[in-house]
């Protein structure tokens, strides 16, 4: 019997033993192609010698130095690296250990900044339905994903207003183009701010490309710029959650750069250290950094492992390899090719409703009826069945969606490592098509 409390107590898990490039191997030697980078984490694949060496070197030098006493070289160098091409005026970085900590930190930085500038009444957060910003209580309160909130709802801080996500497959009306749809969605933000009272609204948080809850759905062109303008009009801070979609996954380091929009706070994690170490970060605007740094009272926040040197060394090595080897070019090329492959393979598939995404961050939405876009009954758990069928065929993919309210269908999220070649792409598409076929046969 395992003493580990696993994610799904009913499941039995193979023991992950090793990895090489885009493959993982279990203890029995079974090979799995990592078609989703775990959860969009693994961007360099496994066993990269330079990343391994950087971790070993740093761990051999220093186990731990508390940031109340020290800074460290990898954290300083990684912060420099991240701000070098960061959008807007983002120019200071706070390192944490993952995405949920990054969300918590971003919300607290926003609040501290509001208090520092004499606006203590600003506390309301606006977020979107079908969103996920983390598992800790404030991050979960901001998240609109109902499945993850039960049974914690009663404990979650209130003060969150929710608006529609930008989800053209289901939200765009027949009588509007993408531009008009984006305007309408952004107008919901303005209405929410006005409804709550602009002086009470602290921040708006959204993912530039929605990952886990919708399956790689980019905002329509113009939407992010428009929400930036609205936030500026009412003094509301804009937080982009790039925990999943950032760090090159869409072909550029910061996903919001595709849209020419810059936030006041940007969170990242997952691909930052590519799974070699737990690492997340919050990038903040100069104005926020200066208000925190010049306040008479220190910002009362900080986790024990903030700026951990070994984690930052891993992140620095990962980001340097990505830049040196021009891997984002491969992300764009392989991403476009994978999307074409999927479109060709599923062109006439009666249950593949939509294929979307950007770079190596793609989603496939499954529907009971392609014409009406009617989702499958969530009780059938199609996405979980596809995950299982794919795993049995040696493919890891990330399932999601299928909300009880029918507002989102089942989807499969693909986010393979940036190093994949043509042969991995072909294997991924073949196994996925086979797995989807197998799962659909199961539900009849
Ligand atoms: N934000 C987004 C967009 C995510 O996808 C996730 C995790 O999937 C998180 C935040 C939370 O990150 P973590 O699981 O590292 O705490």
* The two three-digit tokens of residue 249, written as one number: 């996954």
Q: pLDDT for 352-378, tens place per residue?
A: 999 999 999 999 999 999 999 999 999
Q: What is the pLDDT of residues 138-189, one digit of tens each?
A: 999 999 887 888 889 999 988 999 999 999 999 999 999 999 999 999 999 9
Q: What pLDDT does 215 receive? A: 96
What are the pLDDT digits (tens) for 291-324?
Answer: 999 998 889 999 999 999 999 999 999 999 999 9
CB 167 within 8 A of CB 220: no
Q: What predicted TM-score, i.e. pTM, was given to this entire model? A: 0.98
- Calculate the alpha carbon distances from 133 to 49, 106, 108 in Å: 32, 11, 14
Residue (of 192, 183, 223) closest to 207 by Cα position = 223
Q: Is 269 in the pocket of ligand 1 (CB under 6 A)?
A: yes
Q: Which atom of ligand 1 is nearest to the CA of 207?
A: 3
Question: Given 3-state DSSP classes, what are the helix, strand and coil percentages for the chain, each rounded to the nearest 5?
Answer: 40, 20, 40
Per-residue model confidence (pLDDT) at position 26: 98
Boundaries of every domain in the chain? 16-47+326-443, 52-324
What does the mean pLDDT of the chain come to?
96
Determine whether the shortest distance from the Cβ of 322 to ligand 1 is under 6 A. no
Q: Which atom of ligand 1 is nearest to the CA of 103?
A: 10
Ligand 1 center–CA 134 separation, angstroms: 5
CA of 270 to the centre of ligand 1 (A): 8
> Ligand 1 centroid to 249 CA: how many Å?
14
Residue 61 Cα to ligand 1 middle (Å)? 30
> 11 versus 57: which is more confidently predicted?
57
The pLDDT value given to residue 150: 85
8 — pLDDT class (breaks 50, 70, 90): confident
CB 103 less than 6 A from any atom of ligand 1: yes
Neighbours of 299 (CB within 10 A): 16
For the Cβ of 133 lying below 6 angstroms from any atom of ligand 1, the answer is yes
CA of 324 to the centre of ligand 1 (A): 27
215 lines ligand 1 (CB under 6 A): no
The dihedral region occupied by 281, where left means phi > 0, alpha psi between -120 and 50, and beta the remainder, is beta
Q: 52-324, what's its fold? A: 3.40.640
Dist CA 341 CA 336 (whole Å): 9
Question: 82: which residues sit within 8 A by CB, 6+ positions away?
Answer: 93, 281, 283, 319
Which pLDDT tens digit goes with each residue over 19-33? 999 999 999 999 999
Mean pLDDT of 347-352: 97
Atom of ligand 1 nearest to the CA of 136: 16
Give the residue, by CA position, lying nearest to ligand 1 atom 14: 99
Residue 89 banded pLDDT, cuts 50, 70, 90: very high
User: Does residue 100's CB lie within 6 angstroms of at least one atom of ligand 1?
Assistant: yes
d(CA 145, CA 61): 42
In this predicted structure, what is the pLDDT of residue 408?
A: 83
Q: Name the residue of 165, 269, 303 to mutate for ligand 1: max ligand atoms within 8 A of Cβ.
A: 269
Residue 243 Cα, ligand 1 centroid: separation in angstroms?
A: 6
ipTM above threshold 0.85? yes
- The DSSP element (H or E) to which 396 belongs, if any, is strand 395-396
Ligand 1 pocket test: which of 100, 214, 215 has the largest number of ligand atoms within 8 Å of its C-beta? Answer: 100
Of residues 424 and 407, more confidence is placed in: 424
What's the 216 CA to ligand 1 centre distance in angstroms? 14
- The stretch 397-418 carries a mean pLDDT of 88
**What's the CA gap between 197 and 187, in Å, rounded?**
15
Residue 403 has pLDDT above 80, yes or no: no
pLDDT at 406 over 80: no
pLDDT, residue 177, reads 98
pLDDT in tens, 258-292: 999 999 999 999 999 999 999 999 999 999 999 99
pLDDT given at position 362: 98
Q: Is 216 in the pocket of ligand 1 (CB under 6 A)?
A: no
Could you tell me if the CB of 98 is within 6 A of ligand 1?
yes
Distance from Cα 204 to the centre of ligand 1, integer Å? 17
Residue 11 has a pLDDT of: 83
pLDDT in tens, 206-258: 999 999 999 999 999 999 999 999 999 999 999 999 999 999 999 999 999 99
CATH topology of domain 16-47+326-443: 3.90.1150
């Amino acid at each position: 019997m395992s003493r580990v409390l696993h994610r799904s107590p009913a499941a039995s898990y193979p023991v992950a033993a090793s990895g090489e490039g885009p493959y993982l191997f279990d203890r029995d030697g079974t090979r799995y192609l990592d078609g989703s980078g775990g959860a969009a984490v693994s961007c360099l694949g496994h066993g990269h010698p330079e990343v391994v060496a950087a971790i070993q070197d740093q761990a051999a030098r220093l186990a731990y130095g508390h940031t109340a006493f020290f800074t460290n070289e990898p954290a300083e160098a990684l912060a420099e690296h991240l701000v070098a091409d960061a959008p807007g005026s983002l120019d200071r970085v706070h390192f944490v250990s993952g995405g949920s900590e990054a969300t918590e930190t971003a919300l607290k930085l926003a609040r501290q900044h509001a208090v520092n500038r004499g606006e203590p009444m600003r506390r309301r957060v606006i977020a979107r339905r079908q969103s996920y910003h983390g598992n800790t209580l404030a991050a979960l309160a901001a998240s609109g994903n109902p499945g993850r909130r039960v049974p914690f709802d009663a404990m979650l801080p209130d003060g969150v207003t929710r608006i529609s996500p930008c989800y053209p497959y289901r939200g765009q009306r027949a009588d509007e183009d993408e531009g008009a749809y984006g305007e309408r969605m952004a107008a919901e933000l303005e209405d929410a701010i006005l409804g709550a009272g602009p002086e009470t609204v602290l921040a708006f948080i959204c993912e530039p490309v929605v990952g886990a809850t919708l399956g790689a759905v980019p905002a329509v062109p113009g939407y992010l710029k428009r929400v930036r303008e609205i936030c500026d009009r009412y003094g509301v801070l804009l937080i982009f959650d790039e925990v999943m979609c950032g760090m090159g996954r869409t072909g550029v380091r910061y996903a919001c750069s595709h849209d020419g929009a810059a936030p006041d706070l940007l969170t990242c994690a997952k691909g930052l250290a590519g799974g070699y170490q737990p690492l997340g970060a919050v990038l903040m605007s100069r104005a926020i950094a200066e208000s925190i740094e010049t306040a008479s009272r220190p910002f009362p926040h900080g986790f024990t492992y903030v700026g951990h040197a070994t984690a930052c060394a891993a992140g620095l090595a990962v980001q340097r390899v990505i830049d040196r080897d021009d891997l984002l070019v491969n992300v764009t090329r392989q991403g476009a090719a994978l999307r074409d492959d999927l479109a060709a393979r599923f062109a006439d598939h009666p249950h593949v409703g939509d294929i979307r995404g950007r770079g190596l961050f793609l989603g496939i939405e499954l529907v009971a009826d392609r014409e009406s876009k009617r989702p499958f009954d969530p009780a059938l758990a199609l996405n979980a069945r596809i995950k299982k069928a794919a795993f049995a065929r040696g493919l890891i993919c990330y399932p999601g969606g299928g909300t009880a309210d029918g507002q989102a269908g089942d989807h499969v999220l693909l986010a393979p490592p940036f190093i994949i070649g043509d042969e991995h792409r072909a294997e991924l598409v073949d196994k996925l098509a086979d797995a989807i076929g197998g799962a659909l046969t199961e539900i009849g």
